[in-house]
Structure 1
């Protein structure tokens, strides 16, 4: 049976504040400010000195956990026209080809994450250029200083990497623009900050659930087993982030994919046990198909959870190319197939702008939605007891 989301709680600012002990909503609302502070800190650190002011032979980026999406964002923005290859690593070993002509970017909010720290240390030993982003008083900062690289401080009052993504992503994007592997500069990041502010205003706690896009999405997702699907590379990155936030923040298991590659595996689920397409005879022990309006919960038992599709869509230009039109047709086909089989469909469409600006809006809405979903379910978005047990070694 589907979990119960208390809409009254997410519309009550005091109730949200009492449950949100680490101020997750407040931190998400400050994403625009994070970008602006990161710009200042990057300039103060001399980000123009990255890789000696020259374009490196290659770039390798390492980030984990709440900042793992940074790797994906850089790869996505650099891929179409980067003059140098961009690689991703989460942990050792550092590829054998990394040497003095290459740049390694290591990101860790605490500056102590084992993977990025080990990769940075090995890169420094080989004489590669270093850009590190994290706490100023950390082993990662020390490694960077000894290698005469550029270290960007993430600033103060950082509770968790999931809610302070932009303080670490912005310096990496600025550096990518500086060395010419992505079309990003300070002006683009200023637009990112403005877009994040717009969504923070629309998704604020005082905005009631029937007009707040993040609360509407949270209510929809609470009733489902969510599949998150992006309509292309940009929203593929957003889908990965959304699935991570749903799992880590709202404790809702979610899978994600990107069109066109993931179309078959997503659509195949429409024939599964969480849709009306699944016959009653094989709907499980209760014999009740998901979404069966004639089911009697007293006689037939509780209904199984319903499959949900969260479709993340890009802004479509006024005069789309044949490739864009084909991708849009595939997206519509998947959505229509979902609706025909009783899948609950939710859609978030990006507003026009630079790719990083569009991505920022998609991430903002789904980040807020995952947080409201946690609060509506009675969960503290930042406190997961089993995760704490793992970190303390009790399990």
Structure 2
């Protein structure tokens, strides 16, 4: 089973060696990304979005690591949006999209085939366009020709995983302008403060015994992780966590949100990765100090549970969610799972979400570094790109 090496995440020289492209430094810029993107959006004329009229519907076109942009907008719009919000990764553009609708296309490079193709087709049909990506890109050209609004991402943004807030902020500002989500400049400024606070808490110079992200990474390192959000907002963070664990730490993880995923998560407590499941073969061997790894075989990893919890309220629905989350946690503890619980701080929904997104990003990155993986370089992903180049 992998174990997190504390010296690799605490020693500056080891960090520099193992984080070859300064992923941690890029993540620490998240708060600055929000502030820069607010300025860039204003300079691009975000107030012109949709020519001042509310669209019939909004479709977010994003792919890969940027798909979370659509997830965030959907969950923020659910409570009070007067129009539906959908998302799509690739062509064809749904047949119902027309001149009364808006397409928001997001691509860091401005060249991702899916969002670019959807934007081109949206422009052909006369739909309103808001795009976010590199200034000198085909996506920007399409938007300008269609008299839409294109917002650049600033300099030094080389990975969509570490440039999330450069992509997300203009989309949220546009949604606020249209009246489909509460995402004002003040709310985003509050989120930038929350991101700065997480950057300080999880900074590389903060040692493992006090750094919450390093502690969580050490707990999850020897496990098969499951990520569970206690509601819609934290469910978005759970999706992000699974993606970051896979792409950054090379760890496959399942994810879900309450109440739907409760039974799926609890059912796994009867499986081979907990003390009570699989005839007790996994955790039992791990706990046996006399077990011989050559005769008995190496101990299997235990099940890990990363619980992402929102701020509780006196609303009856919220109280039921809290009770359900507490029950799932109690079952996990009884089954011998390793548990990491993250609770959002008080604040605007965007700020609460920002705190969770920052934490899961840091956890995945420290998990990668601490288990000997460069978080920014994947040989297999590079090979896949070579095999599919020209498709």
TM-score (norm 2): 0.97
The Cα of 1:394 is off from its aligned counterpart by 7.1
Distance in structure 1 (CA, Å) of the matches to 2:198 and 2:4: 22
Q: Is the 8 A contact 1:273 1:289 kept in 2?
A: no
Q: Does 1:308 align with 2:304?
A: yes
Of 357, 367, 373, which residue of structure 1 is paired with 2:351? 357
Unaligned runs of 5+ in 2: none
Q: Is the 8 A contact 1:290 1:306 kept in 2?
A: no
Distance in structure 1 (CA, Å) of the matches to 2:218 and 2:292: 21
Structure 1 segments of 4+ aligned residues over 4 angstroms from their partners: none
| 2:163 aligned counterpart, secondary structure | helix
Q: Is the 8 A contact 2:275 2:283 kept in 1?
A: no
| 1:105 aligned counterpart, secondary structure | strand
Aligned in 2, Cα 1:139/1:288: closer, same or farther, shift over 3 Å? same
In the alignment, which residue of structure 2 is the partner of 1:380?
Answer: 374
In the alignment, which residue of structure 1 is the partner of 2:342?
Answer: 348
Q: Is the 8 A contact 1:273 1:290 kept in 2?
A: no
In the alignment, which residue of structure 2 is the partner of 1:334?
Answer: 328
Aligned in 2, Cα 1:295/1:86: closer, same or farther, shift over 3 Å? farther
Count of aligned residue pairs for this structure pair: 388
| 1:189 aligned counterpart, secondary structure | helix
Equivalent residue runs for 1:232-247 within 5 Å: 232-247=231-246
Of 271, 294, 297, which residue of structure 1 is paired with 2:292? 297
Distance in structure 1 (CA, Å) of the matches to 2:377 and 2:290: 37
Aligned in 2, Cα 1:392/1:145: closer, same or farther, shift over 3 Å? same
Distance in structure 2 (CA, Å) of the matches to 1:243 and 1:7: 23
TM-score (norm 1): 0.96
| 2:308 aligned counterpart, secondary structure | strand
| 2:287 aligned counterpart, secondary structure | coil
Q: Is the 8 A contact 1:291 1:342 kept in 2?
A: no
The Cα of 1:248 is off from its aligned counterpart by 0.4
| 2:155 aligned counterpart, secondary structure | coil
Distance in structure 1 (CA, Å) of the matches to 2:322 and 2:290: 36
In the alignment, which residue of structure 1 is the partner of 2:202?
Answer: 203
Equivalent residue runs for 1:244-259 within 5 Å: 244-259=243-258
Distance in structure 2 (CA, Å) of the matches to 1:215 and 1:81: 37
Aligned in 2, Cα 1:290/1:220: closer, same or farther, shift over 3 Å? farther
